[in-house]
Structure 1
Amino acid sequence: MDFAAARKVMVDSQVRVNDVTDRGLQAAMLAVPRERFCDPARAFSAYGEVEVEIAAGRRLMQAREVAKLIQALDPREGETALAVAAPYAAAVLARLGLTVTAQEAEAAVLDVVGPALSEAGVETAVASLSQPVGEGYDVVISEGAVAVRPEAWLAVLKVGGRLAVVERTGPNGRAVLYVKGREGVSRRELFDAAPPVLAEMTPAPAFAL
Structure 2
Amino acid sequence: MRRLVLALALALATPAFAEEFRVIPPPAVDAAALTGPETAIFAGGCFWGVQGVFQHLNGVISATSGYAGGTAATAHYDQVSGGETGHAEAVQVVFDPKQISYGDLLQVFFSVAHDPTQLNRQGPDVGPQYRSALFPVTEDQARIAKAYIDQLGRARAFDAAIVTQLDPGAAFYPAEAYHQNFLTLNPDHPYIVQVDMPKIAALERMFPQDWREVPVLLPVAD
Return the TM-score normalized by structure 2.
Answer: 0.30
Instruction: Specify which structure has the higher proportion of strand.
Output: 1
Q: Which TM-score applies when normalising by structure 1?
A: 0.31
Larger RCO, structures 1/2 (Cα 8 Å, 6+ apart): 2
